[in-house]
């Protein structure tokens, strides 16, 4: 089992690093690990977050992982208060059978994760339309 650590990712410009600070480690099944980018906003509700949970499936033959990423949009009201006016929410689920070899599981997970970082996929999700 991996120990929680900070996550460093690239901004949309492809060069600037953003650190998502490890805030809460998982306490076990169904308990989310939480990371937050402290480089945006002044209040916790104003900051982008990523969470990851895991648990057995109903029969115990697979492990299910679920992640959620939330990136808030902020605006300053006429009263000078900064408010969250909207959020991008991206969720993902994975079901990993426990009867597969560790090598096959690793290969599947890494290939899917690497597909998600392809420019075509990122641009399509940002535009809101699948490639035609």
> 8 pLDDT band (50/70/90 cuts)?
very high
pTM of the full predicted structure? 0.90
Cα(110)–Cα(47) distance, integer angstroms: 28
Residue 110 domain-assigned? yes
Residue 93 domain-assigned? yes
Share of the chain above pLDDT 70, in %: 100
Residues 93 and 105 in one domain: no
CATH number at residue 46: 3.30.380.10
Q: Which token pair is 116? A: 């998600």
Distance of CA 99 to the CA centre of its chain: 26
Instruction: Give the total number of structural domains in the chain.
Output: 2
Residues 65 and 106 in one domain: no
Residues 83 and 105 in one domain: no
Residues 77 and 104 in one domain: no
Residues 12 and 59 in one domain: yes
pLDDT of 40: 84
Q: Which domain holds residue 91?
A: 7-98
Contacts 24+ apart (CB under 8 A), 80-84: 82/41, 82/42, 82/43, 82/46, 84/45, 84/46
Residues 106 and 83 in one domain: no
pLDDT of 113: 95
Q: What digits encode the pLDDT tens for the residues 33-86?
A: 999 999 888 899 999 999 999 999 999 999 999 999 999 999 999 999 999 999
Cα(10)–Cα(39) distance, integer angstroms: 13
């Amino acid at each position: 089992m991996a120990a929680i650590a900070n996550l460093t990712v690239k901004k949309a410009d492809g060069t600037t690093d953003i650190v998502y600070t490890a805030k809460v480690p998982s306490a076990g099944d169904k308990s989310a690990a939480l990371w937050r980018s402290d480089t945006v906003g002044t209040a916790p509700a104003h900051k982008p977050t990523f969470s990851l949970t895991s648990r057995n499936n109903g029969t115990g033959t697979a492990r299910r992982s679920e992640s959620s990423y939330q990136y808030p949009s902020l605006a300053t009201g006429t009263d000078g208060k900064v408010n969250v006016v909207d959020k991008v929410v991206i969720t993902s689920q994975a079901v990993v059978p426990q009867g597969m070899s560790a090598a096959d599981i690793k290969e599947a997970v890494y290939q899917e994760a690497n597909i998600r970082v392809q420019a075509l996929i990122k641009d399509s999700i940002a535009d809101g339309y699948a490639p035609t």
